Amino acid sequence: MKNYIVTVTAADQVGIVQTVAGTIRARGGNILELSQTVMRGYFTIILEVSFPEPLSTKALAGALTADGERFDLTVVVIEADERARQVPVPNGERFILTVLGDDAPGNIHGIAGCLAARGVNIVDLHARVDGTRFALVMEAFLPSDLSPADVRAELEKFGREHGLEAYVQHENIFTATSEPSPVRVGPPLRIQGDAIVPH
Amino acid sequence: MSAPPYASKETQLYRTEDVLATLGMIRQHKLDVRTVTMGVDLSGCGSPDLAVLCARVRDRLLHFAGRLRQVCHEVEQRYGIPIVNRRIAVSPVAGVASAHSAEGYLELARTLDAVAEEVGVDLVGGFSAQVQKGWTDGARRLIGTLPEVLSTTKRVCASVNVGTTAAGINMDAVLALGHVLKDAAERTRAHDGFGCAKLVIFANAPSDNPFMAGAFHGPGEPDCVINIGVSGPGVVKAAVEDLMAHATVNPTLGEIAEEIKSTAFRVTRVGELIGREVASRLGVAFGIVDLSLAPTPQVGDSVGEILQAMGVLRIGAPGSTAALALLNDAVKKGGSFASSSVGGLSGAFVAVSEDAALAHAVEQGDLTLAKLEAMTAVCSVGLDMIAVPGETDAETLAALIADEVAIGVINHKTTAVRVIPVPGKAAGDRAVFGGLFGEMTILPIHAAGGSAEFVRHGGRIPAPLSSLRN
């Protein structure tokens, strides 16, 4: 068995997923995980696929592009590397970071810089500009020895100069207020194969 | 498609809109944890030696509450939600110090005051007695010391339960408390009788209420417990206003109730999460979340403003009681689904001086004492934070207490009285208590002095019949 990571981007149209999945199926591949989103009219999919025998990444990308010619797909295929399975922040806890305020070029670069310097790993990020208002919500793992107050102070230092306010909150508060399941404290009891909730 | 073993860690879980909705409740609509109240049992502290008693009480409170401030701070930082107050509720002191003289009760009150300051809590409740069926010598001594305790300590809060549905109403105690209010007000004349704001007179007092001034650690509670009072009038008001703004047709009252219910769910969840986390870090039991919508004098944090958002623009107008009943019931329904650990008072507070919109309605002459009394029949907690003329006689204050207690006793619910006869001031004057206690125009008492003979009979109003309930 050999695993590959495939990403496909295109202007959104009906039928892209079917075409991509059809190409994979025709070559004996099995999709292990898939995540797709549409943002401002553009479709992006990332998936991990397993094939019984190794194949050429170039050939697979070529086949996907050819089969999806009418969609004008941009395709990248790489071999899955087991080293990527290492969790970048072992024993970290998931926090939700929210930054709100004035839009300006460099906001995300500055915020990400604050976090990278503190060893915070971003696992999900959604940011948008609505008029002149900038809003960013991310899920990030904080190292166990880093307090949320320190991260917030760091972000606020950046934010003060750029008209932004920042919040760093443990994920449990959002679970508690958004889901009917019982309130819990401490680490989440998440099971494998959780449903993915799209933005 | 099979699930790989590493998927769970990185799976994205939260919708941006959900995150922003919860954050908006905190940022814009003043959602906070109004109080983390630690209940501590003091029943084992008794000693005939006053110094030993006070030392035991101090040690026990330091043992349980020594880390309360630090832990609350940590939890605040972790969840990004303000914890506005930390408080302690102790076993009713009438029982703890029953072997002691009035001076003993005063010394214990001073001890509680000092320990509260030492561990960083703003109020300590439980200088309390339960006298619904009769009073012990200890309870009588405690009530006798109330004016001095309320006027000379800063953080000690007192409560006396004078009636229950099972026992009826102890009218001797009610009359005694009328005199206590007069005395306590006079001793705190310079602060508009503020001493009375730290005394709650109850019917059917709950033993796990986290809100002051009526909190105490009642019988049946564990050694130490964390109870939570959430806030949320601003959040509920914003939800109702949002519903109105986005509806294509005028929402029905049923739809408004549904909106309040779902908002109460979120508010309650925040309270339970914070309570469980604080209790877990302290290694003590988590007790309850009190669902009460607790106002503050700030504009936008008012129960009255919710009624206005529902269409009762002049609070006190006909319809106010029905609107409050809808609000109170919807909050309980949403909260009860959110948590199995709901307790305390759990209703909407109509604390007049603490609620900007209610205080304004009083100033405009729309909201009267009689209407407030009617409103308390459908919500918690009673005639709360109401300034009345300083010249009101003790018998009239006692009769006012008796009326409100009767509503609770007959209707199987908690009611309470926290009235302040403001020395030297008359109806229409302004009483200013400051901080969370707010300010208000003094309400007149209609036909004051007309029921002195009734309350002077004393004795007990018998327990009500529980059948033939119409």
The yes-or-no verdict on residue B7 having pLDDT over 80 is: no
The reply to whether B119 falls in a domain is: yes
Question: Do B191 and B268 fall within a single domain?
Answer: no
Q: Is A149 in Cβ contact with B270 (below 8 Å)?
A: no
In a shared domain, residues B241 and B390: yes
The Cβ-side half-sphere exposure at B235, using a 13 Å CA radius, reads: 28
Question: Do residue B317 and residue B197 come from a single domain?
Answer: no
Inside any domain, residue B120? yes
Portion 126-145 of A in contact with B at CB < 8 A: 126, 135, 137, 139
Distance from CA of B232 to the nearest CA of A (A): 14
Residues B274 and B191 in one domain: no
A102 Cβ under 8 Å from any chain B Cβ: no
Contact residues, chain A, for B27 at CB < 8 Å: 167
Q: Do A190 and B11 touch (CB under 8 A)?
A: yes
**CATH fold group of domain A93-178:** Alpha-Beta Plaits (3.30.70)
Query: How do residues B19-65 score in pLDDT, each as one tens digit?
Result: 888 898 888 888 899 999 999 999 999 999 999 999 999 999 999 99
Provide the chain A residues 12-31 that lie in CB contact (below 8 A) with chain B: 30-31
Q: Examine the domain organization and report whether B242 and B193 are in the same domain.
A: no
Looking at the structure, tell me whether residues B169 and B243 fall in a common domain.
no
Of B5, B13, B339, the CB nearest to A197: B13
CB B424 within 8 Å of CB B460: no
- Residue B305 belongs to some domain of the structure: yes
The ipTM estimated for the assembled molecules is 0.81
DSSP helix/strand/coil, B396: helix
In a domain? residue B468: no
Q: Considering the domain boundaries, does residue B25 fall inside one?
A: no
The count of structural domains within chain B is 2
Nearest to B12 among A124, A135, A174 (CB): A124
* Listed ranges A155-169, A182-196, B165-179; the one with the highest mean pLDDT: B165-179
Pairing of strands A93-102, A74-79: unpaired
In this structure, are B239 and B189 located in the same domain?
Answer: no
Terminal alpha carbon distance of chain B: 63
A170, A176, A197 ranked by CB distance to B78: nearest: A170
Q: Does B82 touch chain A (CB under 8 A)?
A: no
Residue B293 distance to chain A (closest CA, Å): 17
Question: How confident is the model over B416-435, as pLDDT tens digits?
Answer: 999 999 999 999 999 999 98
**Interface with chain A: mutation pick from B1, B6, B14, highest number of A CBs within 10 Å:** B14
What does residue A88 show for φ and ψ, rounded to 5 degrees?
-60, -30
Helix, strand or coil for residue B343? strand
For residue range B101-138, list pLDDT tens digits in order: 999 999 999 999 999 999 999 999 999 999 999 999 99
Spell out which residues of chain A touch residue B79, defining contact as CB-CB under 8 Å: 169-170, 172-173
Give per-residue pLDDT as tens, B212-239. Answer: 999 999 999 999 999 999 888 999 999 9
User: What is the distance between the alpha carbons of residues B33 and A159, in angstroms, rounded to a whole number?
Assistant: 26
Q: In this complex, do B13 and A48 lie within 8 Å of one another by their Cβ atoms?
A: no
Are B183 and B248 within one domain? no
Query: Does residue B29 lie within any of the structural domains?
Result: no
- Cβ A194–B13 below 8 Å, yes or no? yes
Q: In this predicted structure, what is the pLDDT of residue A198?
A: 38
Cβ-based contacts of B80 with chain A (< 8 Å): 148, 152, 167-169, 173
Instruction: Chain B: give the shortest CA distance to residue A66, in Å.
Output: 25
Could you tell me if B115 and B79 lie in one domain? yes
* Residue B101 amino acid letter: S
Domain presence at residue B165? yes
Q: Min CA distance, A84 vs chain B (Å)?
A: 10
- One-character DSSP codes across chain A: -EEEEEEEEEE--TTHHHHHHHHHHHTT-EEEEEEEEEETTEEEEEEEEEESS---HHHHHHHHHHHTGGGT-EEEEEE--GGGGS-SSTT-EEEEEEEEEE--TTHHHHHHHHHHHTT-EEEEEEEEEETTEEEEEEEEEEPTTS-HHHHHHHHHHHHHHHTEEEEEEETHHHHHHH--SPP--SS--PPTTPPP---
Given CB atoms, is A185 within the 8 Å cutoff of chain B?
yes
Taking the alpha carbons at both ends of chain A, their separation in whole angstroms is 33
Q: Are residues B180 and B230 in the same domain?
A: no
CATH code assigned at B195:
3.20.70.20
Residue B201 tokens, joined: 């007179």
Confidence of residue B467 (pLDDT cuts 50, 70, 90): confident
CB contact under 8 A, A33 and B7: yes
Q: Going by C-beta distance under 8 Å and a sequence separation of 6 or more, which residues neighbour residue B183? A: B147
Residue B15 within any structural domain of the chain = no
Residue B407: pLDDT band with limits 50, 70, 90: very high
Of A135, A169, A178, the CB nearest to B80: A169
Counting other chains too, the contacts that A111-115 makes at CB distance below 8 Å and 24 or more residues apart are: A111/A136, A111/A155, A111/A158, A111/A164, A111/A166, A113/A158, A114/A151, A114/A154, A114/A155, A114/A157, A114/A158, A115/A140, A115/A151, A115/A155
Q: Are B20 and A171 in contact (CB < 8 Å)? A: no
Q: Which residues of B touch A137 (CB under 8 A)?
A: 14, 16, 19-20
**What single-letter amino acid sits at B337?**
F
Nearest CA in chain A to B268: A177
Look-up: residue for tokens 């001890």? B111
Q: How far is Cα B425 from Cα B441, in angstroms, rounded to an integer?
A: 10
Does residue A10 have a cis peptide bond before it, meaning omega lies within 30 degrees of 0? no
What mean pLDDT is predicted for residues B85-92?
A: 97
- Touching check for A181 and chain B: CB below 8 Å? no
Q: Which residues of A touch B265 (CB under 8 A)?
A: 177
For residue B3, pLDDT over 50 is answered with no
Phi/psi for A117 (5° steps) reads -65, -25
pLDDT value at position B18? 85
Q: Are residues B115 and B178 in the same domain?
A: yes
Are the Cβ atoms of B16 and A194 closer than 8 angstroms?
no
**The domain containing residue B363 runs over which residues?**
225-452
User: What is the percentage of chain A residues whose pLDDT exceeds 90?
Assistant: 77
pTM recorded for the entire structure: 0.89
Average pLDDT, stretch B134-157?
97
DSSP state of B334: H
CATH of domain A2-84: 3.30.70.260
Task: Name which of B5, B15, B270 is nearest A199 (Cβ-Cβ).
Answer: B15
Distance CA B468, CA B470 (A): 6
Q: pLDDT category, A191, cuts 50, 70, 90?
A: very low
Same-domain pairing of B48 and B108: yes
Contact call for B79 and A32, based on CB within 8 A? no
Domain segments of chain A as ranges: 2-84, 93-178
Q: Are B205 and B157 in contact (CB under 8 A)?
A: no
- Look at B269 and A172 and tell me if their CB atoms are within 8 Å: no
When pLDDT is averaged across residues A33-53 and rounded to a whole number, the result is 95
